[in-house]
Structure 1
Amino acid sequence: MVKIAIVNEKDEIIRYKDRGTLNDDDIYRVSALWLTNPKGEVLIARRSYNKKNDPGKWGTAVAGTVDEGEDYYENIVKETEEEIGLTGLDFEKGPYGRNAKGKQFFYQWYIAHTDKDIEDMKIDEEEVEEVRWITKEQLIKEIEKNPEEFISSMDEWRDMFM
């Protein structure tokens, strides 16, 4: 089983644990991608219904828990290729912080731009049910109208970028 980095209040690695043995006190690391296209749309992804956390809910284009031996950047590069099949993106560091709701984790956002259509992406169906491009305005409306359709922290993340 893959081990993930457990960190202290300063985001310093203190140990590694099997993903399945996390408890409420564990703080871990997550990398996430805000992906845009030339039309100014944002890619969002519906999480697989088989996922333990937020199954079937819409979230950011790519997100992943940082595994043992990885840093935030290495993780987002790996997850982007695994989840949506894109490589060679120019990742710019975005917001960094700590999630205060529910699960405890530090997050590092990355921002990238692509001209790829959804048909050009290779979606990993074990991780992602579907992806779609959406305007920022439409995303705001959908989150306000149907918040239960989105991961719990989507409203906070939306506010960072819009």
Structure 2
Amino acid sequence: MTKIIIVDENDNEIGLKERGTLNPEDIYRVSALWITNSNGEVLLAQRNFNKKHDSGKWGPAVAGTVDDGETYDSNIIKEAEEELGLKNINFKKGIKKERFSNKHKYFGQWYFLIIDRLASEFIIQKEEVEKVQWFSKDEFYNLYLKNPSIFLDSIKKWFDEF
């Protein structure tokens, strides 16, 4: 089974745990890639309905938990290729590792990419992603205000930053 990196409150590695065996006090690492296009739209991904956590919820185009032997950077490169078929991407590192606390405790490293491609042109990994869709920022915001429960809890941070 895959082991994920457990960190302290300063994001220093303190151990490894098998995925699925975390305690509520464990803090881990997550990377997320926010994709926009030249029209100012944001690409959101809907998590597969069979996912154990947050199934069917909308979130960043790509996201993943940092596994043993990975860095935030290597994780987002791997996840972008696996989840959307993106190779040789030139992303911009965004918000520094920031601790989020809701149901889970983790540090999240955000990355940004501007790409002009139809949603149907992404090669999605069906085990992870139900679908991807472009939203104007107004559509995204209004949908969030109307129905926040269809989004990952961390989505609010996106609106706080942009």
| The two structures share one fold, judged by TM-score above 0.5 | yes
Superposed displacement of residue 159, structure 1 = 2.0
Q: Secondary structure at the match of 1:99?
A: strand
TM-score normalized by structure 1?
0.96
**2:158 maps to 1:146:** no
Identity %: 51
The count of corresponding residues between Structure 1 and Structure 2 is: 161
**2:58 maps to 1:58:** yes
Q: Secondary structure at the match of 1:157?
A: helix
Measured against aligned partners, the alpha-carbon deviations of 1:112-154 in whole angstroms (never above 9, x if no partner) come to 1112222221000100000000111110000000111111121
Match of 2:77 in 1: 77
**2:95 maps to 1:95:** yes
Q: Secondary structure at the match of 1:90?
A: coil
Measured against aligned partners, the alpha-carbon deviations of 1:73-99 in whole angstroms (never above 9, x if no partner) come to 000000011011111221111112000
Gaps of 5+ in 2: none
Q: Does the 8 Å CA contact 1:89/1:114 hold for their aligned counterparts? A: no
Match of 2:27 in 1: 27
Gaps of 5+ in 1: none
Distance 1:155 1:132 in 2: 18
Q: Does the 8 Å CA contact 1:84/1:124 hold for their aligned counterparts? A: yes
Q: 1:2-41 alignment to 2 at 5 Å?
A: 2-41=2-41
Runs of 4+ aligned residues of structure 1 deviating over 6 Å after TM superposition are: none
Distance 1:141 1:123 in 2: 26
**2:120 maps to 1:119:** yes
Distance 1:120 1:13 in 2: 37
Distance 2:84 2:32 in 1: 13
**What RMSD over aligned residues (CA atoms) do the two structures have, in Å?**
0.9
Q: Secondary structure at the match of 2:89?
A: coil
Moved more, 85-94 or 127-136: 85-94
TM-score normalized by structure 2?
0.96
Distance 1:56 1:74 in 2: 26
Distance 1:132 1:159 in 2: 21
Distance 2:39 2:5 in 1: 37
Distance 1:157 1:12 in 2: 25
Q: Does the 8 Å CA contact 1:90/1:113 hold for their aligned counterparts? A: no
